[in-house]
């Protein structure tokens, strides 16, 4: 049974998507789903190798002030799911003293289950406020990989760190033991984001995570090699680093000046680890 997520009762509009997956003889199948507008599963389709691809659709213009999206994903033993969405997650402005927008995600992975969560970038509009929280619960031999790219606004319109606030939390558990916790809080009006040692002249950030009891120093080195091998794009410098986490995991942190450049780098890390851990070729889906 899925664990309920604590809801902020100050949110004005709560939209929910819940889905469960099982491994069957013909591969992974979607066994149960529930959604409320404006989010839903647009399509679920086999990808080969027993994996199921899932594309999430948001039929709204984006998250408005007071909106809250809740996603709950239950992936049972040996099931394998690739999750993505159709387009950027867009967060619209909210008043200075008003309610921002929020999103929560909860993943439960059974023994040997695999989840690859690769959404399109997050776009924070001028005067927006956004709170994101995710929780991952792993069983033995399960693998969870996830990536995120954050845009500081519509830069071609001059929206460079013009949003009000961005908070991002991630907790990962292995057999009920907390093995990783992140709590990021950015308030551009109160922080010197362009200072050396912070963002400097970079504008976009990217993260790639992988957690499993199958991850150690060798896997971190494979990811580093893949990133070193990435071609440099003229005028698009990227700063990145790879670290092992406290237990059963690794993280890639990257910064650049465009979302697509960071997506390219994180995809290289993901593809290398996917081939090494799962013996599967890189996924290349056109949306």
**pLDDT tens for the 287 residues of the chain, in order:** 444 444 444 557 999 999 999 999 999 999 999 999 999 999 999 998 999 999 999 999 999 999 999 999 999 999 999 999 999 999 999 877 778 999 999 999 999 999 999 999 999 999 999 999 999 999 999 999 999 999 999 998 989 999 999 999 999 999 999 999 999 999 999 999 989 888 999 999 999 999 999 999 999 999 999 999 999 888 899 999 999 999 999 999 999 999 999 999 999 999 999 999 999 999 988 77
Q: Is 87 inside any structural domain?
A: yes
Residue 283 in any domain: the answer is: no
How distant is the alpha carbon of residue 114 from its chain centre?
Answer: 15
For residue 9, being part of any structural domain is answered with: no
pLDDT of residue 6: 46
Strand partners, 204: 256
Distance CA 51, CA 22 (A): 11
How many structural domains are present in the chain? 1
141: in domain: yes
What is the pLDDT at residue 10? 54
Between CA 243 and CA 170 the distance in angstroms is 16
Q: Is residue 21 part of a domain?
A: yes
Identify the DSSP state of 6: P
The answer to whether 71 touches 17, Cβ cutoff 8 Å, is: yes
User: Does residue 286 belong to any structural domain of this protein?
Assistant: no
Report the distance separating Cα 222 and Cα 228, nearest Å.
10
What are phi and psi for residue 274, nearest 5 degrees? -60, -45
End-to-end CA distance of the chain: 33
Contact 247, 179 (CB under 8 A): yes
Instruction: Quote helix, strand, coil % in the chain, to nearest 5.
Output: 10, 50, 40
Domain extent for 264: 14-231+240-278
pTM of the model: 0.94
Q: Does 4 reside within a domain?
A: no
Decide: helix, strand or coil at residue 171: strand
Is residue 7 assigned to a domain?
no
Q: For 75, how many CA atoms within 13 A lie in the half-sphere containing its CB?
A: 32
């Amino acid at each position: 049974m899925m664990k309920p997520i604590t809801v902020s009762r100050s949110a004005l509009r709560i939209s929910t998507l819940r889905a469960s997956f099982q491994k069957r003889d013909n591969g992974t199948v979607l066994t149960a789903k529930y959604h409320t507008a404006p989010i839903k599963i647009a399509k679920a389709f086999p990808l080969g190798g027993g994996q199921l691809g899932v594309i999430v659709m948001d039929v709204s213009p984006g998250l408005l002030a007071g909106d809250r999206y809740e996603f709950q994903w239950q992936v049972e033993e040996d099931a394998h799911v690739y999750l993505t969405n159709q387009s950027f997650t867009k967060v619209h402005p909210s008043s200075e003293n008003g309610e921002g927008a929020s999103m929560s995600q909860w993943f439960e992975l059974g023994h040997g289950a695999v989840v690859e969560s690769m959404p399109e970038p997050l776009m924070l509009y001028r005067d927006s406020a956004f709170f994101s929280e995710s929780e991952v619960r792993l069983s033995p031999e399960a693998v969870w990989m996830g990536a995120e790219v954050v845009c500081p606004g519509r830069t071609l319109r001059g929206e460079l760190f013009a949003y009000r606030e961005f908070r991002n939390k991630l907790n990962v558990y292995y057999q009920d033991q907390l093995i990783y916790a992140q709590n990021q809080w950015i308030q551009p009006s109160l922080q010197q984001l362009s200072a050396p040692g912070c963002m400097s002249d970079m504008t976009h950030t990217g993260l790639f995570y992988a957690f499993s009891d199958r991850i150690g120093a060798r896997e971190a080195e494979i990811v580093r090699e893949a990133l070193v091998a990435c071609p440099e794009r003229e005028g698009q410098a990227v700063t990145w680093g790879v670290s092992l986490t406290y237990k059963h995991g690794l993280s890639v942190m990257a910064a650049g000046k465009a979302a697509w450049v960071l997506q390219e780098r994180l995809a290289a890390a993901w593809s290398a680890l996917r081939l090494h851990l799962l013996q599967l070729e890189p996924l290349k889906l056109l949306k």
